[in-house]
């Protein structure tokens, strides 16, 4: 039997704020345990939550990028459960009135363009992190109270590839908004993927499993694909899929059962009495829209209008830090395509992602720009540029390197004419080819001349001199 795959995704995303959702304690990743907490995060009696405005701004930005309707009356609810990761005994969330609803995100895969509907986007607080050590659980409350948004899709996704494309695109948008750092490996973006199979052309959903703990974008596709294979094998064998939470094991390349799901837990949700409803002014919301940063699709369009090809656009837009670097580089650059080549090539090779993100490099972008312009004007050759570049990386200025390396180009006509003579004498066939209209012949001759000059001949001048001499030697 043929099966249709049905996938819905829930994404928890930690917001990049300085302080917690409801307290003035700091949000820091990787700090010493229990050093980023105060009484509110620890759920001490008598404390009251106070909503972080920046978290609301970031949630609204995410809503706007995902085309959600925004509820201007912010309301919170309590989700009650008793577990050590939640010191208050409840999590403050938005069960009944999510800030965003009815959104969508269009993704593009080899299946074509597809609209994935967003059911809801709501704000909540993160829980503590637990480490299970032998017979004990060790608890670090630093993460408790970190602002989160949870984004829930409709079950519109139909393959592992689409699931990956969706999370990848969503993650990139959130990173562009500076809503989150989006680091899956650090848990600042976590996705739970619900997967079920049903016979083709039927409506009823099959029994679903939920995959958690996926730590990279590429593992999404692997995890979903392996779970689809596992479920179809079960169904083909006439067995049933058990409703369960599973995790993806990167080594076993398979999903592994964590726990069976027995009915749904009753969280006894009720409105959070300690946070009265907060009315957001429409003008305030409108201003957030005006200030919305450029999103990946818009940036791709801008690059397209600059004349970049699709490959370069994709390379740049996928990597916001690199793309931001490129945007500074092209202010006053003479050859955009050359700037894109250098950004996606040498820069990406020489600087780490972390250096790009933190702008922690000695290279001065203005000096790289000067070099690219010189290259574009054929004042230097690309071979010379590659010699100069390592010095620019160390923070040296272009002018200084050119002087000290003595890489100044040979533009002396008498020297070049000598080389032109030599090259033409050695390549008589190319002269015939040139006059027979073969354009490639000239390129070949320029190449030979550059070789003779050890890359130091001025290419534009050499080319012109070659042409003149070729015309003299017309058979």
Partner 1 sequence: MEKQSKSYFIHLAHQLRFDLGDKEAQDITDEFNILIDQMDLLNKIDTQGVEPMVYPFEEPTSFMREDVVNHVLSALEALKNAPSSKNGFFVTKKVVL
Interface residue list for partner 1 (CB under 8 A): 17-19, 23-26, 32-39, 42, 50-56, 73, 83-84, 131-141, 259, 271, 273, 276-281
Closest approach of Cβ 345 to partner 1, in Å?
39
> Which CB sits closer to partner 1, 50 or 109?
50
> How many whole angstroms separate alpha carbon 289 and alpha carbon 72?
14
Q: With contact defined as beta carbons under 8 Å apart, do 76 and 93 qualify?
A: yes
Report the phi/psi class of residue 387: left, alpha or beta, with left for phi > 0 and alpha for psi in -120 to 50. alpha
> How many whole angstroms separate alpha carbon 1 and alpha carbon 8?
23
Q: With contact defined as beta carbons under 8 Å apart, do 6 and 195 qualify?
A: yes
- Minimal CA–CA distance to 16: which of 142, 175, 217, 140? 175
Residue 423, H or E segment: helix 413-426
- Minimal CA–CA distance to 458: which of 419, 404, 405? 419
Closest approach of Cβ 453 to partner 1, in Å?
60
Closest approach of Cβ 27 to partner 1, in Å?
8
Helix axes 398-405, 365-376, angle to 10 degrees: 60
Closest approach of Cβ 208 to partner 1, in Å?
19
Closest approach of Cβ 33 to partner 1, in Å?
4
Six-digit token string for 386: 């590659």
> Which CB sits closer to partner 1, 263 or 273?
273
Closest approach of Cβ 143 to partner 1, in Å?
13
Q: With contact defined as beta carbons under 8 Å apart, do 368 and 340 qualify?
A: no
> Which CB sits closer to partner 1, 280 or 350?
280
CA angle (42, 43, 44) in 5-degree steps: 95
> Which CB sits closer to partner 1, 49 or 459?
49
> Which CB sits closer to partner 1, 46 or 349?
46
**For the residues of 329-376, what is the DSSP string, one character each?**
HTTT-S-HHHHHHHIIIIIHHHS-HHHHHHT--S--HHHHHHHHHHHH
Give residues with Cβ within 8 angstroms of 187, minimum separation 6. 14
> Which CB sits closer to partner 1, 21 or 371?
21
Closest approach of Cβ 58 to partner 1, in Å?
10
Q: With contact defined as beta carbons under 8 Å apart, do 342 and 372 qualify?
A: yes
Closest approach of Cβ 275 to partner 1, in Å?
9
Closest approach of Cβ 63 to partner 1, in Å?
16
Residues listed for the chain: 475
> Which CB sits closer to partner 1, 95 or 430?
95
> Which CB sits closer to partner 1, 56 or 224?
56
State the virtual CA torsion across 140, 142, 145, 151 in degrees, nearest 10: -90
CA angle (90, 207, 168) in 5-degree steps: 70
> Which CB sits closer to partner 1, 47 or 427?
47
> Which CB sits closer to partner 1, 87 or 296?
87
Closest approach of Cβ 60 to partner 1, in Å?
12
> How many whole angstroms separate alpha carbon 396 and alpha carbon 322?
21
Closest approach of Cβ 290 to partner 1, in Å?
19
Tally Cβ neighbours within 10 Å of residue 441. Answer: 20
> Which CB sits closer to partner 1, 50 or 397?
50
């Amino acid at each position: 039997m043929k099966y249709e795959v049905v996938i819905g995704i829930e994404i928890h995303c930690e917001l990049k704020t300085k302080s917690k959702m409801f307290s003035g304690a700091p949000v820091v990743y990787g700090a010493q345990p229990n050093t980023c907490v105060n009484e509110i995060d620890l759920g001490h009696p008598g404390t009251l939550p106070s909503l972080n405005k920046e978290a609301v701004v970031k949630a609204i930005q995410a809503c706007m990028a995902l085309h959600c309707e925004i509820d201007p009356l912010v309301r919170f609810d309590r989700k009650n459960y008793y577990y050590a990761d939640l010191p208050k005994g409840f999590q403050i969330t938005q069960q009944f009135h999510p800030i965003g609803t009815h959104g969508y995100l269009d993704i593009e895969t080899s299946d074509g363009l597809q609209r994935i509907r967003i059911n809801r986007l709501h704000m909540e607080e993160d829980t503590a992190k637990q480490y299970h050590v032998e017979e004990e659980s060790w608890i670090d409350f630093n993460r408790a109270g970190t602002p989160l948004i949870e984004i829930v899709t409709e079950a519109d996704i139909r393959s592992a590839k689409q699931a990956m494309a969706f999370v990848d695109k969503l993650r990139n948008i959130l990173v562009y908004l500076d809503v989150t750092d989006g680091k899956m490996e650090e848990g600042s973006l976590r996705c739970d993927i619900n997967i079920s199979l049903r016979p083709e052309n039927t409506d009823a959903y099959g029994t679903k499993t939920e995959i958690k703990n996926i730590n990279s974008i590429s593992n999404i596709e692997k995890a979903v694909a392996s779970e689809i294979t596992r479920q179809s094998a079960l169904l083909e064998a006439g067995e049933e899929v058990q409703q369960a939470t599973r995790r993806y094991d990167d080594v076993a390349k398979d999903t592994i059962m964590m726990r069976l799901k027995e009915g749904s837990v009753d969280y006894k949700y009720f409105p959070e009495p300690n946070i009265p409803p907060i009315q957001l002014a429409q003008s305030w919301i409108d201003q957030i829209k005006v200030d919305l940063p450029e999103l990946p699709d818009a940036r791709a369009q801008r690059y397209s209008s600059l004349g970049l090809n699709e490959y370069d656009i994709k390379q740049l837009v996928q990597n916001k830090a690199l793309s931001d670097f490129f945007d500074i580089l092209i202010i006053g650059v003479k050859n955009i395509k050359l700037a894109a080549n250098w950004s996606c090539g040498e820069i990406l090779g020489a600087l780490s992602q972390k250096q790009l993100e933190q702008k922690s490099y000695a290279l001065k972008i203005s000096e790289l720009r000067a070099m690219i312009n010189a290259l574009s004007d054929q004042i230097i050759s690309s071979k010379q540029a590659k010699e100069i570049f390592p010095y620019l990386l160390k923070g040296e200025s272009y002018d200084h390197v050119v002087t000290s390396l003595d890489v100044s180009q040979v533009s002396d006509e008498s020297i070049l004419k000598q080389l032109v003579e030599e090259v033409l004498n050695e390549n008589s066939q190319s002269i015939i080819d040139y006059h027979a209209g073969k354009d490639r012949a000239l390129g070949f001759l320029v190449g030979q001349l550059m070789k003779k000059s050890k890359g130091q001949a001025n290419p534009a001048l050499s080319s012109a001199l070659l042409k003149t001499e070729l015309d003299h030697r017309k058979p």
